[in-house]
Amino acid sequence: MRKYFFLVAAVAVLEAHADVSKYMYGSADAPAEQRAFDGFVYVPDMDVQFVRGAKAKLTKGWAYSASGGATTANPNSGSLPADTLLEHGVCVDRDVVLSVPFAKDGPVKVHVWIGDWFKGWPRLYKSRVQEIYIRHGGKTVYSETISPASSYRNWCKLEDYSYSKKDGIWDRIVKPVLTEVSFDAVAKDGAVRLDLQGILLTAVAIASSEAEMQALLAETEQARRSQFAERYPWKPKPDEPMPEGVDLSANCVIFQRNGMDAVNPWSRPRVGEVTDTIRAFAAKDEQEPFRFGVLPLKDYKTLEVAVGDFQGPEGTVLKTSEIADFWRERYKERGSEQTRGKIDQMWRLDPLSYVLQKNGPQNGEAGTPRMYDLDVFVPADAKAGDYFATLTVKGDGKVIRTGRLQLKVLPFRLRYDGAAQYGFQAGYGDSSMDAPGTTQEIQDRGIREICNMTTRYRFACISMTGWTGGFQQNHKLGTITGEPGHRMVEIAPENEKSWNWWMSMACPKGQRYVMIQPAYLFQNLGWQMEVTRNYKKVRDKKWFTPERQKNFELELEDGARIMRTLTDFMSRKGYPTPYWNLGGEIDNYGAPGAEAAARWGEALKKVGCESIIVINGPLAAKLTPSRFDHVWANPATPVTEDLKGRIEKYGHGFGAHNCGDTRFQAGFQFWRTGAEGRYQETQFYTRYMLPFVNLPWNYNTAQAYPSLDGSYRPSLPWLLYRDGRDDYLYLYTLERTLEENKGSAAVRAEAEKFLSFLRKKIKFDPRAYHAAKFDGIEATAETLSDVWNGVSIERYRWHVADLISRLEVCI
Amino acid sequence: MRGLLAGFVLAVLVFTGVADPLPTLKGMFVLDGRFSEEKWTGSATAKFEGRSATAYLAQTDGSVVLGVLSEHGRFDGRVCDKTAHDDAVYNDDSADLFVALPGQEDFWHVIANVRGAVYDERRGDFGRISVDWDSGTRAAGSYDAQTRRFYIEMRVPLAVFAPADGRLAFCVSSYTRWDKVGTAVWGEPFKPTTWKTFEVGGRYPVGLESFTVSSIAGRQMSSIRLKNRGNRPVTLVGSYAGEPVEWSLRPGDTQTFEAPNTMKKGDAVEVALRLDSDGTRVLEAYRNVVAKPLLKAVPVSDIIWADESLKIRVTVAEKQTEPVVIETKPGVATCTYKDETVVIPYSTDASPWGRK
């Protein structure tokens, strides 16, 4: 029935506008229903419209596929496009000849829709084109220089947009996807010829007059809006009621809300949240955010918020500008939070306050809460006690409200020594540094920024193996020489410089170990292991021939020897101990591949190197506990006390891999498992956040956001993940303090009892708290538990802090 | 314009082709997970490529029945540990049945493992997945150590698909976990246009437009929206959640019916709708639900400050007919609604901010 409708609509539109031509572009594989939209003629990438020329490099079409997986795997999948026009496109590097039946010769109006729904500007990288343009009759009508800087501009599109209830959803999140260009052209022999370079061509319309063109554009936009409304029937929720006692005649309301509690444009402060004093407590040397909101009750064109310096005990002053980052939150639709990259439920389009931007003036419309985060880095030598800072809210330049911030500095520091390291797969951070026009300086800076972002928040680059950006070509770490069976590694003095550069950035003082993937490191050293990089093929007997099997034995022998040499080198240099990671999530390769990967555990044991493996299923759960020094499991394994027991029975370390990215998962739940470390891939899935970081389409798992200047910034979930890590550190510090037999027997007994209570309360298997049901979960910013909310976690943390304080004081 | 439309209709008909009848089994089908050639006498069969395996497809007693007998390339690498409905059954040694109405892109997908656990979903408009959709499938299977094979069979009521024209397109695949390889017959998985169409016969005058089942404990109303596709009135007689129902639909009419289902908190229930017309089964629909409590009472925090009272978030999952009774004693609070009680232990702590 749907097909009939489209066919009728197409014919009707063509009849209605005799003096227009409309074309849309895409893959030749697109199914029939993707080829019909509002009278546009579908032109596949190999059509005669595209004229081959000397400079033709790439004319590649694509089309949406509903059956595809995550956008990481399939750039043509992800969220259902807003309309048919966005379901396909062509990256064009050719002349295009557009038939104009209504005008043989003479002036016409042309309108071009540029861009795409899925990958957008990163597609251009492949073409390696630096200058993109549309030319007609020798004149440039549209152009842009593609460079790392322009990539960031495109990626961070709408960075300056401040949410307003007055803007409809289509205008906010669909219209900005495409760039639209209008210009005058001249038809010759019934055709308009355009010269395109590096253009992501979505559609072109040609009309005989401006009036025809305006009518056409209005009709096209209406058709797109209608289709979007059918596909995404999202509606804003009504405003929540204001709590009793709020003076509605005031200029604004200030309130404090924990980061775990959502703020939507329709949110209102709850009872107990309205306050003039925003409070937080923190240990010395801890990082802790104050999160608060301003709800304007009157319209202000600009809303500004400022915090003064903190005045502490005995006249101490902590300068806010030196000890804190001040962020304002930007609304962005919740989007896809798992790695499927799909928006299939309308609540995912609810605007949520969570993208962090440097604090500055913004729109202060009445009734839309604006959230702020003052992220304080408490100095290690700060005096314990209460500190106060003034809070000033200005509307249109005038002070409309004042309040204060109260920081309680606790009389102890959190213990990092021996605590679990929290690490990321940081190699997925960025791809802008690969853009045309990049330089070694830009690439090096990109790598440095990833490390800075990680270490600034005291996470560990445990899998920042340096293979991103230009590391491979710019920073050679040594050379592997020799015949199979006799391969050796040599590290020249200039290679040592590269090691120093990498390690000084990625592994700050105190980091105990670093996870290294030899399959990629050896590539830097000039040797590409064959079987170890192709576990998936091992099950194919045609591929895993007797000769390859023999080569694999040599690969194991040579690889282990080289890792021994590198371990010794790293030890001499005082770098963290390498944990050699020779196979990630090996259940993906089936039993033969998993068994091949497991061979590495034995090979490394023979040479006395530390091995680590991240596992994700029953095959690895059987194969790895006895073989690897460190076995880190994800929820699909599954993560159980039995698994932990089987790993620890061999004296091996049990750790968490991709067990979730929420505060609770990173904190109390992680602590419950007693894992030695935590490896979460998704925080730096920044390069997958496509096509635009500030729009919900199609991939929103990353917690680190890019900035226009090429640096990274946290999102609110990043700060919450760090808070989770600190929840763990509070508990760890309490345990260490107890081990040291500090404090009175009564307080020690109280602390033991409380820890025992928590162990019973928290379930060991992280799946117990997963809101969405996926067998292999990488990121779950949705935790299914009413019990572990922002208020309760903060109170548990306070209880732990109070116990530590009492133990420390009563030695 | 008429010519264009006619051409389009013709194209669709040519594309979907003439369907083979789906054979009806001669004997009685006993779903016991044990393979025998006799059991599948007369069925449509197909050999898989790349694996010594056979699919058997037939109909019997208003159901489509599927059997997949397959070698297991690594018998000591058998994986089959899922037992719950809609768990990740697809990660075990398993068989998949894909079903679509011919020419449609939406489809149904049923997977069973050797233990007989079932995962079923519907791929609806715009590729959206509804795991809520349940098929009423029964499955069983077995491993045979001697022949190093595994066998899975399933029975799916045809009335859950209710094909208006008596035709369905099928595709079958077989999957083993050890090598993570799936192989298919009668088309390509997830691509309904490639599947083989069979004539299943029967008369299905009614279509299910929507089916909303309340999963709340107690006696709750569910909503069933039906469409009479034909030009004759239809009287439907059958049962919903075990209770008899009788509904009528005028020709072309679409109507929403409400019917009660009763469950106790925590019950795992298959809520079934079964409707006959003129003595023939014409529609079935299922939802597997775990009954959620009527009363939810969660403290904002179970640690309260010395100068504040316990805050509890109370939600009643139905139109409230009586008050929730909350009793608080030192260290414990109880919330009661109807026959459900939630006990909330709490402790009192000194606030970091002192007394307000």
Q: How many CB atoms lie within 10 A of CB A68?
A: 19
User: In chain B, which residue's Cα lies nearest the Cα of A11?
Assistant: B1
- Rounded Cα gap, residues A235 and A49, in angstroms: 41
- Rounded Cα gap, residues A683 and A704, in angstroms: 6
Characterize the bridge pairing of strands A421-424 and A677-680.
Answer: parallel
pLDDT at residue A5, rounded to an integer: 35
User: In chain B, which residue's Cα lies nearest the Cα of A795?
Assistant: B303
- Rounded Cα gap, residues A104 and A300, in angstroms: 55
- Rounded Cα gap, residues B287 and A319, in angstroms: 60
The alpha carbon of residue A276 and the mean position of all alpha carbons in its chain are separated, in whole angstroms, by 34
Structure tokens given for A735: 């345990």
Is there a contact between A598 and A621 (Cβ–Cβ < 8 Å)? Answer: no
Q: How many CB atoms lie within 10 A of CB A349?
A: 20
Residue whose tokens read 């008899």:
B244
Residue whose tokens read 């419950």:
A672
pLDDT at residue A429, rounded to an integer: 67
pLDDT tier at A468 (50, 70, 90 boundaries)?
A: low
- Closest by CA position to B37, among listed B65, B75, B67: B67
pLDDT at residue B127, rounded to an integer: 66
> Does residue A796 belong to the interface with chain B, where contact is any CB pair within 8 Å?
yes
pLDDT at residue A466, rounded to an integer: 59
- Closest by CA position to A74, among listed A773, A698, A590, A660: A698
pLDDT by residue (tens digit) across B223-259? 999 999 989 999 999 999 999 999 999 999 999 999 9
Among the partner-chain residues A591, A636, A792, the one whose CB lies closest to the CB of B300 is A792
Residue A783 vs residue A474, higher pLDDT: A474
Q: pLDDT at residue A366 above 50?
A: yes
Is there a contact between A369 and A294 (Cβ–Cβ < 8 Å)? Answer: yes
Bond before A766 cis per omega within 30 degrees:
no
The SS3 of residue A94 is: coil
Structure tokens given for A109: 């109006």
- Closest by CA position to A303, among listed A261, A381, A346, A361: A361
Residue type, A701: T
Query: 3-state DSSP helix/strand/coil percent for chain A, to nearest 5?
Result: 35, 25, 40
pLDDT at residue A432, rounded to an integer: 73
Residue whose tokens read 């003076």:
A247
Q: pLDDT at residue A14 above 60?
A: no
User: In chain A, which residue's Cα lies nearest the Cα of B352?
Assistant: A798
Q: How far is A740 from chain B (nearest CA, A)?
A: 25
Helix (DSSP H) and strand (DSSP E) numbers for chain A? 19, 35
Residue whose tokens read 């500030």:
A694
The SS3 of residue A477 is: coil
Contacts of A612 (CB under 8 A, 6+ apart): A515, A579, A580, A581, A628, A629, A630, A631, A632, A655
pLDDT tier at A3 (50, 70, 90 boundaries)?
A: very low
pLDDT tier at A66 (50, 70, 90 boundaries)?
A: confident
pLDDT by residue (tens digit) across A500-542? 998 998 888 889 999 999 988 998 999 999 999 999 999 888 9
Is there a contact between A181 and A141 (Cβ–Cβ < 8 Å)? Answer: yes
Inter-axis angle of helices A790-809 and A716-739, to 10 degrees? 30
Among the partner-chain residues A231, A618, A775, the one whose CB lies closest to the CB of B126 is A231
Chain A interface, best mutation among B111, B190, B300, B304, by max A CB count within 10 A: B300
Residue type, A411: P
**Pairs of CB atoms within 8 A across A/B:** 88
Phi, psi of A540 (to 5 degrees): -90, 110
Phi, psi of A422 (to 5 degrees): -105, 120
- Rounded Cα gap, residues A123 and A681, in angstroms: 24
Inter-axis angle of helices A546-573 and A493-506, to 10 degrees? 80
pLDDT at residue B16, rounded to an integer: 47
The SS3 of residue B302 is: coil
CB within 8 Å of chain A, chain B residues 107-136: 123, 126-129, 131
Buried b (16+ CB within 10 A) or exposed e, A218-235: ebbbebbbebbeebbebe
Helix (DSSP H) and strand (DSSP E) numbers for chain B? 1, 27
Task: Specify the DSSP element, H or E, that contains A736.
Answer: helix A716-739
Kindly list the strands in the beta sheet with B63-71, ordered across the sheet, starting from the edge strand earlier in the chain.
B44-47, B53-60, B63-71, B149-157, B138-144
pLDDT at residue A148, rounded to an integer: 86
- Rounded Cα gap, residues A82 and B82, in angstroms: 37
Among the partner-chain residues B8, B91, B299, the one whose CB lies closest to the CB of A775 is B91
- Rounded Cα gap, residues B66 and B53, in angstroms: 13
Residue B151 vs residue A689, higher pLDDT: B151
- Rounded Cα gap, residues B97 and B99, in angstroms: 6
Lowest-pLDDT range, A277-291, B123-137, B190-204? B123-137
Contacts of B2 (CB under 8 A, 6+ apart): none
- Rounded Cα gap, residues A310 and A292, in angstroms: 17
Q: How far is A419 from chain B (nearest CA, A)?
A: 26
- Closest by CA position to A570, among listed A653, A488, A663, A500: A500
The alpha carbon of residue A6 and the mean position of all alpha carbons in its chain are separated, in whole angstroms, by 38
Contact at CB, B8 and A4, closer than 8 angstroms: yes
- Partnered with residue A373 across adjacent β-strands are A291, A327
- Closest by CA position to A635, among listed A425, A783, A777: A777
The SS3 of residue A67 is: coil
- Closest by CA position to A23, among listed A3, A2, A50: A50
- Rounded Cα gap, residues B308 and A691, in angstroms: 48
pLDDT tier at B2 (50, 70, 90 boundaries)?
A: very low
- Closest by CA position to A370, among listed A160, A156, A158, A162: A162
pLDDT at residue A10, rounded to an integer: 38
**Mean pLDDT across the stretch B40-68?**
96
Is there a contact between B113 and B178 (Cβ–Cβ < 8 Å)? Answer: no
Q: What angle do CA A468, A472, A478 make, to 5 degrees?
A: 135
Q: pLDDT at residue B342 above 90?
A: yes
The SS3 of residue A485 is: coil
Characterize the bridge pairing of strands A95-99 and B303-305.
Answer: unpaired
Reading phi first (left if > 0) and then psi (alpha if -120 to 50, else beta), residue B42 is in left
pLDDT by residue (tens digit) across B279-301? 999 999 999 999 999 999 999 99
| Rounded percentage of chain A residues whose pLDDT exceeds 90 | 70
> Does residue A322 belong to the interface with chain B, where contact is any CB pair within 8 Å?
no
Residue A187 vs residue A686, higher pLDDT: A187
CB within 8 Å of chain A, chain B residues 205-244: none
Q: Measure Cα distances from B161 to A333, A800, B44, B136, B281 in Å.
A: 36, 57, 20, 11, 12
Structure tokens given for A515: 């996870």
Residues of A in contact with B96 (CB under 8 A): none
Contacts of A389 (CB under 8 A, 6+ apart): A307, A308, A309, A310, A311, A320, A404, A405, A407
> Does residue B322 belong to the interface with chain A, where contact is any CB pair within 8 Å?
no
**Mean pLDDT across the stretch A653-669?**
94
Among the partner-chain residues B4, B127, B300, the one whose CB lies closest to the CB of A789 is B300
A543-549 long-range contacts (CB < 8 A, ≥24 apart) are A544/A592
Structure tokens given for B189: 């998985």
| Rounded percentage of chain B residues whose pLDDT exceeds 90 | 77
The alpha carbon of residue A561 and the mean position of all alpha carbons in its chain are separated, in whole angstroms, by 37
Lowest-pLDDT range, A418-432, B76-90, B190-204? A418-432
| Rounded percentage of chain A residues whose pLDDT exceeds 70 | 92
pLDDT by residue (tens digit) across A94-138? 889 999 988 889 999 999 999 988 877 776 666 677 899 999 999
Chain B interface, best mutation among A730, A786, A788, by max B CB count within 10 A: A786
pLDDT by residue (tens digit) across A738-772? 999 989 999 999 999 999 999 999 999 998 888 76
Distance linking the first and last C-alpha atoms of chain B: 78
Phi, psi of B72 (to 5 degrees): -115, 110
User: In chain A, which residue's Cα lies nearest the Cα of B107?
Assistant: A67
Residue whose tokens read 């194991």:
A556
Q: Measure Cα distances from B224 to A559, B261, B279, B295, B353 in Å.
A: 64, 12, 21, 25, 55
pLDDT by residue (tens digit) across A418-463? 999 999 877 766 777 778 888 888 888 888 898 899 999 999 877 6
